[in-house]
Structure 1
Amino acid sequence: MPDESSFSGVALVTGAAGTGIGAAVALAFAEAGCQRIAITDVNEELLDQTKSKIKSTASNLEVLAVAGDISSSDFAETFVNKVVSSFGRIDYAVNCAGIMGNNQISTETTLDDFDKINNVNYRGCWLSSRAELNAMTKQDPLPNHDSRRPPQRGSIVNIASQLGIVGRPACSAYSASKAAVMAMTRGDAIDYSEHHIRVNCICPGIIDTPMTTSTEERKQLLKPAIDIAPMRRMGLPQEVADCALFLCSSKASFVQGAALVVDGGYVIN
């Protein structure tokens, strides 16, 4: 893992409520020594819980928590502007907000369901990333931990999915939304390299979060995917968070446009 000196800048995390991946990422930044962290989620109550957990890790932390819907173009831009106004810059952004699919084939998927899935998983990620990139291009880069490497103006990590790479039955809308995140990541990585901004994504497998374990029906639905993966278990949110911090850090200085698969081996089986 990167040492604390790797995170002297400002971190922004979307989808940071509760005990999911976003909350784990925000806490990981705090535990790694990042002292200015901005978080957002549509669930204000759970977002406040994440804020309290982050602040409990150190006395000198500054945490900005703003509840809102990242699929709204007005909110995504407003939130990023608040972060810059409060902290002066954004150095690491991890876009974690997402929802599950509807588990239906295309001819059974309503337009409302299709829009709901894509508005959060793809549109929301794109709106957030676009606002973050706009802020990052206007700031001075941070020095690298290694003077031989170029300085980094910013790093963005988008959360995609293993199902953006491979398919499964009754999952076309969700898979497409995550494949779009991967394609967007590659395009932005090309376009913003000249600005010394890196853009990568993570493709998690089945992760042990309230989204995947909230009901027995959900657990049974996901069990075949867990059994397919060679490691035959759910991943931990912290295991995804560790990878996000690596990609954000200057130790990943030559990693650009990558899709890091964190799935216990699901896609290789």
Structure 2
Amino acid sequence: MYMFPGVAVITGAGGTGIGAATAKAFAAAGCKMIAITDLNEKTLQQTAESITSTHPETEVLVKAGNVADDQFADSFIDTVVWRFGRLDYAVNCAGVIGKSLRSSETSLEEFDRVNNINYRGCWLSSRAELKQMVTQEALPSHDPNRPPQRGAVVNVASQLGIVSRPGAPAYCASKSAVVGMTRADAIDYSKDGIRVNCVCPGVIETPLVMEKAEVREAIMPAVETAPMKRMGQPAEVADAILFLCSTQASFVQGHAMVVDGGYITL
């Protein structure tokens, strides 16, 4: 049983995707202070209402905004600290899927759109989170065999940050960048008692995948190729994220945990 006595922040938490599932999983695991953000204020409120209706003891801070905006990324964390006093678990889920195009067919605008959200937005968010974490005292450890941690960051990359597929040069590059950033930050912040890891989901049944026929068509070969031959569920990725945030993962650092039904093993 995981214990989350501190404050959790989740970006990209609107809708029914990985971010929303992660916010709900933190609440179900006993986290009493959760801050969520997303570009879509309506779906963000829906996530908050879902949490408070099931876990009325949980306080949810909601602030809509664009994580690719450096001023918003900093102001969001400032608001979290003003409200809750600290930040202990940060999960950066905000992301988009690019158009299925080869590099010679990809416009600069499309390249920038994908990378601004997937990589720049993740970096800005984690930078703001790490700035706060290095200033605060570590939470006391409930297990004498595990050292206290000052904070845990989990970035959401993709299986396509480890391997690639046709027609996704901008997306694959953006997610590879998240993996590389995660590993670099893990090295830099180990001395501060902060763990930085990432998850690399495979094809997950989220609105980003299911809402557009061309996206579903593009990813179905990957579903059929993976040994488990099914899409994953957002809650299955959330489970991996909570493990990486928990003290049960106290010696896991700079890891890119693949949650993809075995796709990259082939």
TM-score under structure 1 length normalisation: 0.98
Task: Report the secondary structure of 2:44's partner residue.
Answer: helix
- The letter of the residue matching 1:34 is C
5 Å-filtered alignment, 1:65-84, equals: 65-84=62-81
Q: Give the corresponding residue for 2:90.
A: 93
User: Per-residue deviation at 1:58?
Assistant: 1.6
Q: Give the corresponding residue for 2:100.
A: 103
Task: Report the secondary structure of 1:126's partner residue.
Answer: helix
- The letter of the residue matching 1:255 is V
Q: Give the corresponding residue for 1:236.
A: 233
User: Per-residue deviation at 1:216?
Assistant: 3.0
- The letter of the residue matching 1:231 is M
Residue of 17, 21, 31 corresponding to 1:20 = 17
CA distance in 2, matches of 1:216, 1:119: 24
Q: Give the corresponding residue for 2:258.
A: 261
5 Å-filtered alignment, 1:174-185, equals: 174-185=171-182
Q: Give the corresponding residue for 1:200.
A: 197
For residues 226-264 of structure 1, the C-alpha deviation after alignment (integer angstroms, 9 at most, x for no partner) is 001000000000000000000000110000000000000
- The letter of the residue matching 1:33 is G
5 Å-filtered alignment, 1:133-144, equals: 133-144=130-141
Give the unaligned 5+ runs of structure 1.
none
Task: Report the secondary structure of 1:39's partner residue.
Answer: strand
Task: Report the secondary structure of 2:203's partner residue.
Answer: coil
Residue of 3, 7, 11 corresponding to 2:4 = 7
Task: Report the secondary structure of 2:63's partner residue.
Answer: strand
CA distance in 1, matches of 2:9, 2:193: 18
- The letter of the residue matching 1:112 is E
User: Per-residue deviation at 1:208?
Assistant: 0.3
CA distance in 1, matches of 2:229, 2:10: 29
User: Per-residue deviation at 1:101?
Assistant: 1.6
For residues 100-119 of structure 1, the C-alpha deviation after alignment (integer angstroms, 9 at most, x for no partner) is 02211111100000000000
For residues 39-73 of structure 1, the C-alpha deviation after alignment (integer angstroms, 9 at most, x for no partner) is 00000010000010011122211100000000000
Give the unaligned 5+ runs of structure 2.
none
Task: Report the secondary structure of 1:37's partner residue.
Answer: strand
Q: Which runs of 4+ in 1 moved over 6 A?
A: none
User: Per-residue deviation at 1:134?
Assistant: 0.4
Residue of 117, 122, 125 corresponding to 1:128 = 125
CA distance in 1, matches of 2:198, 2:149: 17
- The letter of the residue matching 2:77 is V
Pair 1:159 & 2:159 matched? no
- The letter of the residue matching 2:189 is Y
CA distance in 2, matches of 1:261, 1:95: 16
- The letter of the residue matching 1:161 is S
User: Per-residue deviation at 1:217?
Assistant: 3.0
RMSD (Å), alpha carbons = 0.7
- The letter of the residue matching 2:72 is F
Q: Give the corresponding residue for 2:31.
A: 34
Task: Report the secondary structure of 2:110's partner residue.
Answer: helix
TM-score under structure 2 length normalisation: 0.99
User: Per-residue deviation at 1:204?
Assistant: 0.1
Residue of 206, 219, 243 corresponding to 1:246 = 243
Task: Report the secondary structure of 1:7's partner residue.
Answer: coil
Q: Is 214-223 or 202-211 further displaced after alignment?
A: 214-223
Task: Report the secondary structure of 1:217's partner residue.
Answer: helix
- The letter of the residue matching 2:175 is K
